[in-house]
Structure 1
Amino acid sequence: MRLYYRGPDAMVTSEHFVHRTPTSTRAFLIRDLRDVGITSAEEPGTPIVTLAGGTAILLAAALPLWKISPLYAIGFLGLAGFGLAAAALVRRNRPRSWLLQATYRGQTVELYASTDARVFNQVSRALRRAIEDARPPSSWDDFAAA
């Protein structure tokens, strides 16, 4: 059995992919993995929906101030706009979460997830090598030496 990667939360061998979490350990047979792919855990529409909702709440809060004094409403919206911009920048700079997904025995499963890009790339590269090495040799390989 060949070892491709061994870390604190994952292990890839020529026969198994093992993912360890603090609560469980999941093992998958390499030969039963199909359609392995990398995806991002982020939903693309979430920041836009959050920003639109925050803007609607701010406008609703500024309406009573507008009736008292338009200057107060403009000042409030200006300060709140800086707050929304700061929140958007903080959200943008947080680490991105990556997922390894596959079809395992007819079901879509999440094999591995990480926010550390270096470790995630090592695990995904090891899994790719294990899958490539597990393929049966093609008939063209027999003629390569001739």
Structure 2
Amino acid sequence: MSTRTYYRGADAVVTDERFVWHTTSTRVFEIRELQQVQLVRGQPAARRYPIMAGGVVLLASAGLATLTTPPSILLGLLTVAIPGALAVTLSRTRSRTWQLEATYRGRDVVLYTQSDPRVFNQVSRALRRAMEAARPPTTGYGLVVT
């Protein structure tokens, strides 16, 4: 019997037997031993743009005090305004991370983390299909006469 692959990507592989997450170290989970799998919506990933822009603004404002001609004042104001606007824009477009968490061999684990919703949905859908396929066959839940 061959192994069926539900998803194969750069950072994860989902087969009918295993869930493999290629992160700093490869993590392998047996599908049949996963319990209580759940999707967790994480917090937005922190970005350092406002901190960097604040530093630029401080440096630029110190330099503004020494400017005396109108062109140099305009240049100084642009030096302050552009990083500030960039920091505000980028801080509002922070990406959100999602996680798949489960109980594996009696321990709570993080199966997978991703900030790209398209990839995360593909991986979570593949895991759901693999888990459904790994369940023992039922006899119709008692609703079919055999």
User: TM-score, with normalisation over the residues of structure 2?
Assistant: 0.63
* Match of residue 137 from structure 1: 137
Q: 1:90 to 1:137 in 2, by over 3 A?
A: same
* Match of residue 37 from structure 2: 36
Give 1:93 shift.
Answer: 2.1
* Match of residue 14 from structure 2: 12
* Match of residue 3 from structure 1: 5
Q: 1:110 to 1:89 in 2, by over 3 A?
A: same
For 1:20 and 1:32, the matched residues in 2 are separated by 19
For 1:145 and 1:17, the matched residues in 2 are separated by 36
- Long gaps (5+) in structure 1: 44-85
Percent pairwise identity:
53
1:107 paired to 2:107: yes
Give 1:92 shift.
Answer: 3.9
* Match of residue 75 from structure 1: none
Counting only pairs closer than 5 Å after superposition, residues 80-95 of structure 1 correspond to structure 2 as 90-95=90-95
Q: 1:133 to 1:145 in 2, by over 3 A?
A: farther
State the aligned residue count. Answer: 107
Cα deviations across residues 29-51 of structure 1 (Å, max 9, x unaligned)? 000000111112218xxxxxxxx
Q: 1:111 to 1:139 in 2, by over 3 A?
A: same
Letter aligned with residue 10 of structure 2: P
Give 1:88 shift.
Answer: 7.3
- Long gaps (5+) in structure 2: 45-85
Give the RMSD, CA atoms, in angstroms: 2.6
Give 1:143 shift.
Answer: 7.2
For 2:102 and 2:91, the matched residues in 1 are separated by 28
For 1:12 and 1:123, the matched residues in 2 are separated by 7
> Going by fraction, where is helix more abundant, 1 or 2?
1
